[in-house]
């Protein structure tokens, strides 16, 4: 059970406090409702590059990290297609340092040319390290535009190409900041060994004076329904053939999210799952297999992917997966199999809520979805799912004319 | 309000480590138990002296660990996995050079069942041919994929250089090892190292006494024998080692390091502080110079790894191919700066405060506390280890750190490996 108290500042900043008296620590987390999906197609990778620039000094504070480390703190951030999230963990008695630092960069960044130049370099190296200099590293750069034709999910958070990052100008940076980094576009969650009044006072003191800015209204092109099977084959210098299959499904806030999640566990969530046993142990067609949902805030995906054994052809692999998908559609699963995947969620929820940082981030994430009141209902959402729901989901989602398939072939 | 002035802060106080209760189960099998857990979670670590250094043939320790719950002809691995899943249990296999084992995650209501299924499978393990062949195929493919990454090629060569050919710590598998390993090797290793070994149990959870009884019963199965193992002293190959060429690579991996001492050495705490200044946190000198000033890399860091029979210090990064030599030069420049200039009081205070905060972050909650205890237990450290460490952080001076840099970071004592 995650406890919380909400309040709002006059400038529109939403603040949520989560008390935990058992820890000596406190966390201050700010989620900005901006991700790669808010970029223009000709200037991708910007939300993420911007996240790096947020550490390059703000209006009144030349360096973000130094004072935080001085107060015993640590920080980090991440960007996804949907959101950008910043978090600071420090000894509870020093929490004001985080209020001071985060409020100054919400007020205004320093916008130094040196920071932009250096972080462009850092991000380009990140692009190389994670997406280009790794076997299969560029799969999603190629797969996204196959699956999404209109929606900005068609590019990855890192960006479509290195050139977009190289070309980023200071003008772009400033424009992005004032458009997206306003108090109304953020959720702040403070958690740990603190008191509500203390958090209210600090929030008012440091964030209260930040002026409200024009509210950004998102207007993202919808992705039309997919009606034809899609396929892309790429050749790379890799040791094994790899296979990726995607189906469009509901978003993070739909009922399908929970059904799809259980369904992916049944298909390939563990060593007792259907595909693992059949394709890896019995038939030895694959050397790895996984199934998962992307859980995106808009236009989610159901993904099945794996590496093929040397002798397996793509046709074989695809046919084997379809056989299992057809089974899910054709017959109701037995109760024990369904209970199995539900029980695992029960355990993992208890462990995931042990971490203060996880709880705080989760609150921010739920508030950003507009679903904070449901944060403690997660297990009920899984529990109510029936075998019929799984079957119905499979029938709706797994259709041959709605599949997108990417095959990575071995370059000769 | 003047936003350019930092709010007041105070130095983080140290947190007392909660020590688990120690229970002798049977046959020398020890249980360390932390009962004071506020939720229903239960984590049970079972560790043997079954790390890769005990194997006489490469991959045997790894395969045995992975397959020890894969059943027998009557009861297949899938049935075991299904049952563990049914009770909501999670199972993790763990292996390093010294230790190996399994970790069980469950809830109070089901941990007894999860443990029963796991231990029944453990007793009945016969390493069936089908499972063995599966593991061979899966592991060898994953090895081939990992071998495409410059960071792994670099690390393997570094291990070989730092420990020398004679030390088991320096060995890495090659592709042929995957065909050489046999089913019989696993059975032998399993019997000698696991069944005749002495596991140590680390339990974090508010479980009932009857569960402790269940653990006791299980411990009665063991008939410990001493393992014959004498470590070879590591022998470091110093200096620059020829680049490992990787066709089409667009980044180079770099490793710079040397053999070091154990955690009981009088210079250990001071060197850890020095390591933090150099590359142990985001604000470190290597990050400030090579990432935040030059933009050569996404990340660079340094660390110390301490194992039972050897320890090493290591700087690691991946950088654009074109800036590989500049990066190595900058690494040496930063080391030289530590040797020739005193660290400023302000920087030293920052690193000290950061580290004190880090102790808090790493001691938050009973599972984290147990990890701290395991460190003390396996490294044979005094119970005052963490308070001694914190005291040493407070006391260490810039001059002492300069001396440590001179003593331990001489260029001639370092090994440099690059790949890509």
What CATH number has the domain bearing residue B321?
3.30.830.10
Which B positions 332-371 lie with beta carbon below 8 A of chain A? 349-351, 353-354, 356-358, 360-361, 364-365, 367
> Is A387 part of any domain?
yes
Domain that holds residue A43: 5-207
> Is A328 part of any domain?
yes
Sequence-separated (6 or more) residues with CB below 8 Å from residue B35? B21, B205, B206, B207
Which one of A52, A58, A70, A236 would you mutate to disrupt binding with B, by most B Cβ within 10 Å of its Cβ?
A: A70
Does residue B55 sit in the same domain as residue B172? Answer: yes
> Is A216 part of any domain?
no
Does residue A67 sit in the same domain as residue A143? Answer: yes
Closest CA to A364 of A10, A27, A38, A9: A27
- Do strands B239-240 and B415-419 pair parallel, antiparallel, or not at all (unpaired)? parallel
Does residue B89 sit in the same domain as residue B194? Answer: yes
Does residue A29 sit in the same domain as residue A81? Answer: yes
Does residue A12 sit in the same domain as residue A152? Answer: yes
Does residue A324 sit in the same domain as residue A254? Answer: yes
Does residue B113 sit in the same domain as residue B84? Answer: yes
Cross-chain CB nearest to A125 (options B150, B249, B296) = B296
Q: How would you write the pLDDT of chain B (420 residues) with one tens digit per residue?
A: 899 999 999 998 777 788 999 999 999 999 999 999 999 999 999 999 999 999 999 999 999 999 999 999 889 999 999 999 999 999 999 999 999 999 999 999 999 999 999 999 999 999 999 999 999 999 999 999 999 999 999 999 999 999 998 899 999 999 999 999 999 999 999 999 999 999 999 999 999 999 999 999 999 999 888 888 888 889 999 999 999 999 889 999 999 999 999 999 999 999 999 999 999 999 999 999 999 999 999 999 999 999 999 999 999 999 999 999 999 999 999 999 999 999 999 999 999 999 999 999 999 899 999 999 999 999 999 999 999 999 999 999 999 999 999 999 999 999 999 999
Does residue A61 sit in the same domain as residue A149? Answer: yes
* pTM assigned to the model: 0.95
Which one of B2, B4, B5, B6 would you mutate to disrupt binding with A, by most A Cβ within 10 Å of its Cβ?
A: B6
Name residue B58's beta-bridge partners.
none
Does residue B369 sit in the same domain as residue B257? Answer: yes
Does residue B201 sit in the same domain as residue B279? Answer: no
Yes or no: say if B287 and A118 are a contact pair by the CB < 8 Å rule.
Answer: no
Number of domains in chain B: 2
> Is A217 part of any domain?
no
> Is B136 part of any domain?
yes
> Is B3 part of any domain?
no
Are A287 and B137 in contact (CB < 8 Å)? yes
Domain that holds residue B124: 21-219
> Is A85 part of any domain?
yes
Q: What is the CATH number of the domain that holds A179?
A: 3.30.830.10
Are A129 and B10 in contact (CB < 8 Å)? no
How many angstroms away from the CA of A90 is the closest CA of chain B? 7
A255-268 vs A335-352: helix axis angle to the nearest 10?
110
> Is A213 part of any domain?
no
Does residue B297 sit in the same domain as residue B361? Answer: yes
Does residue B288 sit in the same domain as residue B197? Answer: no
Rounded alpha-carbon distances, angstroms, from residue B50 to A352, B13, B40, B77, B324 = 30, 38, 30, 22, 38
Does residue A199 sit in the same domain as residue A261? Answer: no
Instruction: Quote the CA–CA distance of B412 and B406 in Å, as a whole number.
Output: 12
Name residue B169's beta-bridge partners.
none
> Is B29 part of any domain?
yes
Residue A23 forms contact with B (CB below 8 Å) = yes
Number of domains in chain A: 2
How many angstroms away from the CA of B329 is the closest CA of chain A? 19
Residue B420 forms contact with A (CB below 8 Å) = yes
Which residues in A lie closer than 8 A to residue B127 (C-beta atoms)? none
> Is B4 part of any domain?
no
> Is A276 part of any domain?
yes
Does residue A188 sit in the same domain as residue A252? Answer: no
Does residue A201 sit in the same domain as residue A277? Answer: no
> Is B212 part of any domain?
yes
């Amino acid at each position: 059970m995650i406890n919380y108290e909400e309040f709002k500042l006059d400038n529109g900043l939403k603040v949520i406090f989560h008390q935990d008296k058992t820890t000596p620590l406190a966390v201050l987390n700010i989620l900005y409702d901006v991700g790669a999906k808010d970029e223009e197609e000709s200037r991708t990778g910007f939300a993420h590059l911007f996240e790096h620039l947020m550490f390059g000094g703000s209006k009144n504070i030349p360096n973000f990290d130094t004072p935080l480390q001085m107060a015993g703190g640590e920080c980090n951030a991440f960007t996804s297609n949907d959101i950008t999230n910043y978090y600071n963990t420090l000894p509870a008695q020093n929490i004001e340092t985080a209020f001071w630092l985060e409020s100054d960069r919400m007020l205004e960044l320093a916008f130094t040319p040196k920071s932009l130049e250096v972080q462009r370099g850092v991000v380009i190296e990140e692009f190389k390290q994670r997406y280009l200099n790794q076997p299969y590293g560029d799969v999603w750069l190629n797969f996204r535009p196959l699956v999404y034709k209109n929606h900005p999910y068609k590019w990855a958070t890192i960006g479509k190409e290195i050139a977009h990052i190289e070309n980023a100008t200071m003008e772009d940076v400033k424009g992005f900041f004032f458009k997206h980094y306003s108090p109304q576009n953020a959720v702040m969650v403070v958690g740990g060994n603190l008191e509500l009044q203390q958090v209210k006072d600090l929030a008012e003191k440091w964030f209260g004076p930040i002026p409200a800015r024009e509210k950004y209204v998102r207007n993202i092109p919808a992705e039309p329904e997919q009606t034809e099977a899609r396929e892309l084959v790429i050749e790379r210098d890799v040791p094994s053939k790899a296979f990726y299959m995607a189906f469009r499904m509901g978003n993070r806030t739909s009922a399908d999210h929970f059904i799809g999640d259980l369904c992916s566990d049944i298909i390939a969530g563990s060593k007792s799952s259907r595909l693992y046993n059949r394709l890896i142990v019995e038939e030895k067609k694959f050397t790895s297999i996984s199934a998962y949902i992307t859980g995106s805030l808009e236009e989610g995906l159901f993904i099945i992917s794996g590496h093929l054994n040397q002798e397996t052809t793509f046709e074989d692999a695809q046919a084997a997966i379809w056989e299992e998908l057809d089974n899910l559609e054709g017959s109701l699963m037995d109760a024990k199999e369904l209970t199995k995947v539900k029980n695992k969620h029960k355990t993992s929820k208890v462990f995931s809520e042990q971490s203060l940082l996880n709880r705080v981030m989760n609150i921010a994430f739920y508030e950003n979805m507009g679903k904070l009141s449901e944060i403690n209902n997660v297990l009920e959402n899984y529990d109510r799912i029936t075998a019929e729901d799984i079957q119905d989901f499979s029938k709706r989602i797994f259709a041959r004319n709605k599949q997108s398939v990417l095959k990575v072939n071995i370059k000769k | 309000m003047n936003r350019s002035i930092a709010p007041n802060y105070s130095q983080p106080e140290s947190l007392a480590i909660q020590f688990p209760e120690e229970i002798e189960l049977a046959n020398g099998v020890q249980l360390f138990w932390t009962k004071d857990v506020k939720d229903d979670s239960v984590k049970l670590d079972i560790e043997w002296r079954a790390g890769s250094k005990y194997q006489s043939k490469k991959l045997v320790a790894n395969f045995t660990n992975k397959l020890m719950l894969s059943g027998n002809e009557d009861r297949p691995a899938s049935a075991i996995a299904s049952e563990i899943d049914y009770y909501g249990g999670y199972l993790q296999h763990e292996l390093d050079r010294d230790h190996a084992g399994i970790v069980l995650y469950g809830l109070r209501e089901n941990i007894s069942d999860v443990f029963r299924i796991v231990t029944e499978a453990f007793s009945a393990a016969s390493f069936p041919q089908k499972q063995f062949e599966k593991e061979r195929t899966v592991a060898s493919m994953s090895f081939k994929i990992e071998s495409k990454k410059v960071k792994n090629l670099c690390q393997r060569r570094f291990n070989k250089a730092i420990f020398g050919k004679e030390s088991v710590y320096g060995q890495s598998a090659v592709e042929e090892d995957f065909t050489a390993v046999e089913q019989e090797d696993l059975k032998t290793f399993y019997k000698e190292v696991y069944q005749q070994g002495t596991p140590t149990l680390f339990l974090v959870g508010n479980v009932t006494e009857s569960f402790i009884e269940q653990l006791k019963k299980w411990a009665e199965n063991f008939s410990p024998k001493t393992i014959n193992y004498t470590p070879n002293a590591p022998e470091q190959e110093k200096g620059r080692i020829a680049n490992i060429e990787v066709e089409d690579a667009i980044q180079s991996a770099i490793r710079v390091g040397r053999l070091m001492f154990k955690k009981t050495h009088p210079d250990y705490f001071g060197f850890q502080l020095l390591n933090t200044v150099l590359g142990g946190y985001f604000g470190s000198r290597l990050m400030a110079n090579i990432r935040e000033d030059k933009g050569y890399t996404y990340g660079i860091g340094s660390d110390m790894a301490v194992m039972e029979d050897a320890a090493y210090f290591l700087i690691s990064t991946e950088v654009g191919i074109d800036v590989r030599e500049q990066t190595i030069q900058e690494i040496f420049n930063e080391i030289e700066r530590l040797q020739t200039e005193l660290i400023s009081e302000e920087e030293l205070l920052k690193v000290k405060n950061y580290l004190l905060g880090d102790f808090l972050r790493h001691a938050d909650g009973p599972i984290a506390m147990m990890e701290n205890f395991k460190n003390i237990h396996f490294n044979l450290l005094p119970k005052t280890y963490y308070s001694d460490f914190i005291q040493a952080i407070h006391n260490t001076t810039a001059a002492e750190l300069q001396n440590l840099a001179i003593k331990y970071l001489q260029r001639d004592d370092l090994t440099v490996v690059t790949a890509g």
